Amino acid sequence: MRRSCLTLLGLLCVETAWAGAPISGRDQQMVFPREPIQAVAARAYHQELASMAKRGELDLNPETLHRIRKICSQLIAQAIRIKPAAAAWPWEIHITSDPEVAAYSMGGGKLMISTHFIESYQLNDEELAVALAHEIGHIIAEHVREQVSMAALMNTSVPLHARKVADVINAMQSDISVYLRLQPLSRLQEMEADDIGIELAARAGISPAAVISFYSKLAKTDSGQSMFDTHGSITQRVKFVDSMANYAWPVYEASRKAKPLPHYTFADASP
C-alpha cells in the first residue's frame, strides 16, 4: 500500500480482539478495527486504478472484464454466505495489461488480475475461478488486517493504544526485520487462502479437478524459493491443495444439487 494513502489517518484507539478465519477456524489476533484497514486499502486500490488508467493499462478488454466479473459474482456470493459481514463491503474487480502484475487482493473486497497472467497460463474459466477464489479467500479471512495487527504487536516500545496504522504499514514496507518476522504468517495465510479458495470454488460449482490443473500450471514455472518469498514452496502447496481438493469433492457434488445463490452485482458493472 502506498504511503500517500496513509497520511490522513490519525491515532486509533485499539483493543486486541480475537477472530476466527473462515473455513479453517484458525484463531486470529486483531489489534486494529476493520474499517480503517479497509479505508487504507480502498484508497491505495483506487490510486493504483488511476495510475493504470493513466498508463493505458486498465480494463482494456471489455469481454475479459465481463468474463472475470461473471466468475467473481458467483464466488463472492458464496463468500458472503460464509462471512455475512462481507455483504456490506464494496467489492470491485478490474483487469490490467501490466505484465508485472499477476493477481492480488486488498482488504474490503478489492481485486485485480492481469490479462498477461491469464494468457500466460492459458487459464480456462474453472482454473480462473480457482485463482480468483484464492484472492477472495485472503479478503474474507482479513489477512491484511491480521498482518498489520501482528506488525503492531512486534514493536513493544510504543504503547498499543498509541499505534498508528500509517506507521505500522510504513514499518512493514521499509523495515526488513519486520518483513522477515512476518514471513511465517504470510506463508500460513497463503495456504489458508488456498484452503478457503478451494472451498469457495467447490461451493460455486467449480470441479476440484480444476484446482489440481491450476496449481500444476503454476508449478511448471516455479523458479525456486528464496528467503524473501512470502508464498512458500509451490511444490509443498501443490501437495497441500491436492489433499484439500479430495475433501472438496463432496462439497462440489452437493453444489450441483443445491439451488444456486443470487450472484453478486458489482456497482459499476454494465447492465
The pTM assigned to this predicted structure is 0.88
Which residue type occupies 95? I
Residues of the chain falling short of pLDDT 70 = 1-16, 158-162, 222-233, 269-271
How far apart are the C-alpha atoms of 43 and 169, rounded to whole Å? 14
**What DSSP letter does each residue of 17-61 carry, written as one string?**
EEEE-TTT--EEEE-S-HHHHHHHHHHHHHHHHHHHHHTT-BS--
249 occurs within a structural domain: yes
How far apart are the C-alpha atoms of 61 and 192, rounded to whole Å? 32
262 occurs within a structural domain: no
Which residues, 6+ apart, have CB-to-CB distance to 195 below 8 Å?
23, 24, 137, 240, 244
43 occurs within a structural domain: yes
Q: ∠ at Cα 121 (230, 228), nearest 5°?
A: 15
Position 23 scores a pLDDT of 92
Position 6 scores a pLDDT of 33
Task: Look at the chain and report how many structural domains it folds into.
Answer: 1
Position 162 scores a pLDDT of 67
270 occurs within a structural domain: no
How far apart are the C-alpha atoms of 55 and 79, rounded to whole Å? 32
Dig out the grid coordinates for 179 from the structure. Answer: 518483513
Position 2 scores a pLDDT of 37
How far apart are the C-alpha atoms of 219 and 228, rounded to whole Å? 18
What region, left, alpha or beta, does residue 142 occupy, with left being phi > 0 and alpha being psi -120 to 50 degrees? left
Position 7 scores a pLDDT of 32
Domain span at 96: 3-257
- Pairing type for strands 110-114 and 92-96 reads parallel
CB 185 within 8 A of CB 153: no
CB 147 within 8 A of CB 172: yes
| CB-side neighbour CA atoms (13 Å) of 70 | 9
269 occurs within a structural domain: no
Position 271 scores a pLDDT of 42
Position 269 scores a pLDDT of 61
106 occurs within a structural domain: yes
How far apart are the C-alpha atoms of 48 and 54, rounded to whole Å? 10
